[in-house]
Structure 1
Amino acid sequence: MTILDKIIAQKRKELVELINLPLLKEVEKPVPTFKEQVASSSNMSIIAEIKRASPSKGAIDLTVDPIEQAKTYEGNGAAAISVLTDETFFNGSLNDLHAVRKAVDLPVLCKDFIIDTLQIDHARAAGATIILLIVAALDDEKLKELYDYATNLGLEVLVEVHDEVEMERALAIQPEIIGINNRNLKTFEVNLATTEKLASYITNPNTILISESGMRVRQDVERVGKVGAEAILVGETLMRSDDLNATFSEMQIPLSKGSEQHAR
């Protein structure tokens, strides 16, 4: 059984409890869409993640104040904030997301393993403006059902893939935002060649490509930028950074909207 299998099994258990949990009070504060953020920037857009722990790395920063971290990210030019809301494996919560949404004026991604519309309802109520759908965790019918449900609620959806088969499945629903995760969900090894290999599948100039995992230094960002990534999702590197201002500056590389870049 892979770690993804274990996480999905846990999510199925949590759904039983989620039915009886009241929705959090919605945050009535407009923020730009992620698409608008990317369109308005000539540099690599950064989705900055709040991540206390992970199955592969263990504890990263268990004492982080999500509000202060999010404000620091915003102050350094993050295009969006990602909040890990899984409790069992990542030590996060929807309360973290709720607090972050109230604290910043940026799009907020609910980073979780969503397998049911009920989770989308809770994410939206907590303040998510973007949700994550992991193709590896869903069959085609459920992927389309959840995508349509979320977009009909006005949410943006980051559709995440790890290989060619998942990319083909993702493209079938014509998503506006595709994330290529460089981390192998079975081995948890990270390889930026995954973005390089899969980027060419995206031929729609209006589709935003995000490269996820493995962004440590400027050269990593330049590498995925060359094949069309307009945004990166960065968690551990930011959570461990001693100088967030310097780390952001290093990663906000200018994007050439030329032939190699699939410009909008």
Structure 2
Amino acid sequence: MNILERIVRDKRKEVDLKKELTPVSLLERFPLFERKTNSLAEKLKQVGSSGIIAEHKRRSPSRSVINQSLSVQEVALGYQNAGVAGMSVLTDLKYFGGSLEDVLSVRASVQLPILRKEFIIDPFQILEAKAYGADVILLIAAILSRSEIKSLSETAKDLGLDVLLEVHNEAELQKSLMPSLDMLGVNNRDLKTFEVSLDTSRSLSEQIPDDFVKVSESGISNVDAIQDLRSYGYKGFLVGEHFMKTENPGKKASEFIKALNS
């Protein structure tokens, strides 16, 4: 069993327990459930947008501890001041050290569009995302069937959430294309081997219809990479460890975006 399969196995147990503990009717009464969301897809399409989706990530299976010393509010404010287009917040506890409370803390601190970065396998998790103040959900093609992608993405759209669908190869892309998606994310990291190559984004770029905002994820650590990927039509760039592994992620993001704009 590879790491992705282990994560999904544990996630199913976690979600089943949470559904027993928290009724849907309770989530629907959360104050933020009625909040009008802030579209990340529209933000990425704006002229002059940095395109940077900066991530908050304490640890990962591939890297162990990344940064556990800073509060998520500090990181969020630093990212907003740096001029990022949006923020990705890991909410998996067991493997990444995150939580839905992190989304709530970010929502209380900044106006940025927030992506709930999670292994979503059940509509309940989408209701959670809405209730805790997220604007965008992530769906991972590698762990979902076409019918699951359709059902989950339509649930998200009904709630006013943006949908970022993540693929790793052509087969995943072809099974996933449907109108209920806003953004197509190409993950340059092989989730089975954790090897990273930007060639994945380059090779899949022409197969992504222009109806979707193209996002490149993982392995982006320099301005030249973004300039190159922009020439392939990418408007969004998910950057996590490059910022988070420093003592001041906001400052690092600010320097990065200034270099990008120079």
The match for 2:3 is 3
Q: How many correspondences in the alignment?
A: 252
**AA paired with 1:246?**
E
For each residue in 1:24-67, what CA deviation from the matched residue of structure 2 results, as whole angstroms up to 9, or x when unmatched?
93436655311221222334411110000001011000122101
- Could you tell me how far apart the structure 2 residues matched to 1:71 and 1:235 are? 15
Ranges in structure 1 where 5+ consecutive residues have no aligned partner: 255-264
The match for 2:230 is 225
Change beyond 3 A, Cα 1:32–1:122? closer
- Listed as ranges, the matches of 1:114-133 within 5 Å are 114-133=120-139
Instruction: Give the number of the structure whose residues are more often helix, by fraction.
Output: 2
**AA paired with 2:67?**
D
**Per-residue deviation at 1:16?**
1.9
Ranges in structure 2 where 5+ consecutive residues have no aligned partner: none
Give 3-state SS (helix, strand or coil) of 1:109's partner: strand
- Could you tell me how far apart the structure 2 residues matched to 1:135 and 1:253 are? 33
Give 3-state SS (helix, strand or coil) of 2:165's partner: strand
**Per-residue deviation at 1:102?**
1.3
**AA paired with 2:257?**
F
Change beyond 3 A, Cα 1:16–1:31? closer
Give 3-state SS (helix, strand or coil) of 2:94's partner: coil
Question: 1:141 pairs with 136, 147, 155, which one?
Answer: 147
- Could you tell me how far apart the structure 1 residues matched to 2:109 and 2:49 are? 24
The match for 1:258 is none
The match for 2:17 is 17
Residue 45 in structure 1 maps to residue 54 in structure 2:
no
The match for 2:97 is 91
- Listed as ranges, the matches of 1:107-256 within 5 Å are 107-173=113-179, 175-204=181-210, 206-241=211-246, 242=248, 243-244=251-252, 245-250=254-259, 252-253=260-261
Of stretches 71-80 and 16-25 in structure 1, the one that deviates more from structure 2 is 16-25
> Taking structure 2 as the reference length, what is the TM-score of the superposition?
0.91
Query: Pairwise CA RMSD of aligned residues?
Result: 1.7
**AA paired with 1:82?**
S
**AA paired with 1:18?**
K
Moved over 6 A (4+): none
- Could you tell me how far apart the structure 2 residues matched to 1:122 and 1:174 are? 19
**Per-residue deviation at 1:155?**
0.4
Work out whether residues 179 and 212 of structure 1, in 8 Å CA contact, stay in contact via their aligned partners in 2: yes
- Could you tell me how far apart the structure 2 residues matched to 1:43 and 1:100 are? 20
Work out whether residues 26 and 127 of structure 1, in 8 Å CA contact, stay in contact via their aligned partners in 2: no
**Per-residue deviation at 1:176?**
2.0
Change beyond 3 A, Cα 1:29–1:171? closer
The match for 1:260 is none
- Could you tell me how far apart the structure 2 residues matched to 1:81 and 1:18 are? 25
Work out whether residues 114 and 135 of structure 2, in 8 Å CA contact, stay in contact via their aligned partners in 1: yes
- Could you tell me how far apart the structure 2 residues matched to 1:253 and 1:184 are? 30
Determine what percentage of the aligned residue pairs are the same residue: 38
**Per-residue deviation at 1:173?**
4.8
Of stretches 34-43 and 17-26 in structure 1, the one that deviates more from structure 2 is 17-26
- Could you tell me how far apart the structure 2 residues matched to 1:132 and 1:75 are? 24
Give 3-state SS (helix, strand or coil) of 1:88's partner: helix
Give 3-state SS (helix, strand or coil) of 2:102's partner: helix
Work out whether residues 84 and 111 of structure 1, in 8 Å CA contact, stay in contact via their aligned partners in 2: yes
Work out whether residues 26 and 124 of structure 1, in 8 Å CA contact, stay in contact via their aligned partners in 2: no
- Could you tell me how far apart the structure 2 residues matched to 1:161 and 1:147 are? 15
**Per-residue deviation at 1:249?**
2.0
